[in-house]
Amino acid sequence: MNRASPSPHLAISGATMDKLVPKKRRNKTILIGIAATIVTLVCSFAVWHAIPRGLQVAASEVRIAGVEKGLFEDKLIVRANTAPLRSIFLDSVESGRVEEVNVRDGTLVTKGQLLFRLSNAQRNIDLLTRQEQHALQISNLANLQVTQEASVTEHQRRLSELKFALVQAEKKHARDVKLANQGFISSVALEESNDQLEQQQQLVKEEMQSNETGLNVRNAALARMESAIKEQQSGLQLVQASVEALAVRASAAGRLTGFNLQVGETVKTDDHIGRIDDPSVFKLTAQVDEFYLNRITVGRHGTVRQGERDYAVEVSAVYPQIKDGRFTVDMVFGKGQPEALSPGQSLDVEIALGEPAQALLLPNGAFVNDSGGVWVFVVGADGRNVERRDIKIGRRSNSQIEVLSGLAVGEKVIISSYAAFGKSQHLQLTD
């Protein structure tokens, strides 16, 4: 059997399949792939870097300040209002209708000057009733005293008669004793004479005892009546004082303030009518941030600049009650005060809290109230990326904050309000 010879087409096909790809083309493909990967990574990094991180904030809307080393001036400047140092409040002690007004608000009054007059019919009726009762009691006391005097006179008359009779009985008995000794009268007659003498002595004794008892009773009655009259007199004086209080007078000299009564107006007991201010001496009252509550104490010194002169002041009272994040401080002037002060006038007071010292400083700003001074937003070196960072602050003044830790000299910090940033941890400053 003859074998067929191989087809020339098949020989050519096999030769084509066994042909090797050149090595140079394969390396080129690998290099292209690596380059594409690198380009992709670079583009991805550029895109990631270009994407804003954190809340975007316009740089023009924030205030930025640098951390510096400098001298911390431990002082506080507060806005204070002037007020009279001594004031007397006018509160109505009686109710009634205003019948007469003699002064106006702002008038300088003298002590004892009539300010206004009220009318109260019931008070006048009470006064008349008390006066009538008092007069009746005085009349009764007078009658009792007259009766007592008459009783005393009658007792003296009876006692005089009894004592006279006693003397006569004593003389008769003495004669009878002599006659009996001489035998001219009997023993029976002498005994009767002695009995008469003893009877007369007993009558004198009883009269004296009766008078003493009656005198004690009458004196006790007089004492009770006199005590009742004194009580009535005290009540009458109170009613008289209440009637006199209807005419209200200035209790001290000064300037009348907050006084706006009108004729015909009804005033009730304990109504606040106004006050009398001493126009010559003033105090200063200021509202201070609660941060300084433990640093401002009574006796702290300060100064007030008025015109070209400084006036010394001293903290006289600290009221620790906090309202709306502030407490109240009163200050008084030292050796002198500015001229022509008016109640309610505003003055800047500089209060010294300590000695100046070197410290790491930040300008004071609204951020302190928002963060409580425990963290800040620090601007990065690129001037765009901002991160939140915890810090610790020390003393504060109106213009400076002492930084204890968390920041370094030269770092930039946003010192304006953080209220619009919410709970953001990162910010991105934009043009």
pLDDT in tens, 255-288: 898 899 889 888 888 888 899 988 889 999 999 9
Higher local confidence (pLDDT), 11 or 231: 231
| pTM (predicted TM-score) | 0.53
pLDDT in tens, 40-53: 776 655 544 544 55
Separation of alpha carbons 383 and 428, rounded Å: 9
| Residue extents of the structural domains in the chain | 55-73+357-430, 77-84+281-352, 94-114+250-275, 122-244
Strands (E), 195-300: 247-249, 254-257, 266-267, 272-277, 282-289
Contact 140, 225 (CB under 8 A): yes
Residue 269 makes CB contacts below 8 A (sequence gap 6+) with: 92, 93, 94, 95
Separation of alpha carbons 206 and 214, rounded Å: 12
Question: What share of the chain in percent tops pLDDT 70?
Answer: 89
pLDDT in tens, 142-165: 887 788 788 888 888 888 888 888
Fold classified for 77-84+281-352 = Elongation Factor Tu (Ef-tu); domain 3 (2.40.30)
Measured CA to CA in angstroms, residue 139 lies from 4, 102, 225, 246 at distances of 179, 41, 11, 30
In DSSP terms, which residues pair with 98 in a beta bridge? Answer: 118
Tell me which DSSP letter residue 297 carries: -
Equal fold, 55-73+357-430 vs 77-84+281-352: no
> Does the pLDDT at position 33 exceed 50?
yes
Highest mean pLDDT among 25-29, 74-78, 284-288: 284-288
pLDDT in tens, 313-328: 999 999 999 999 999 9
Domain 55-73+357-430 top-level CATH class: mainly beta
Tell me which DSSP letter residue 94 carries: S
The 3-class SS string of 38-88 reads HHHHHHHHHHHHHCCCCEEEEHHHCCEEECEEEEECCEEEEEEEEEECCEE
Query: What does the mean pLDDT of the chain come to?
Result: 84
pLDDT in tens, 84-127: 988 888 888 888 898 899 999 888 999 999 999 988 888 878 87
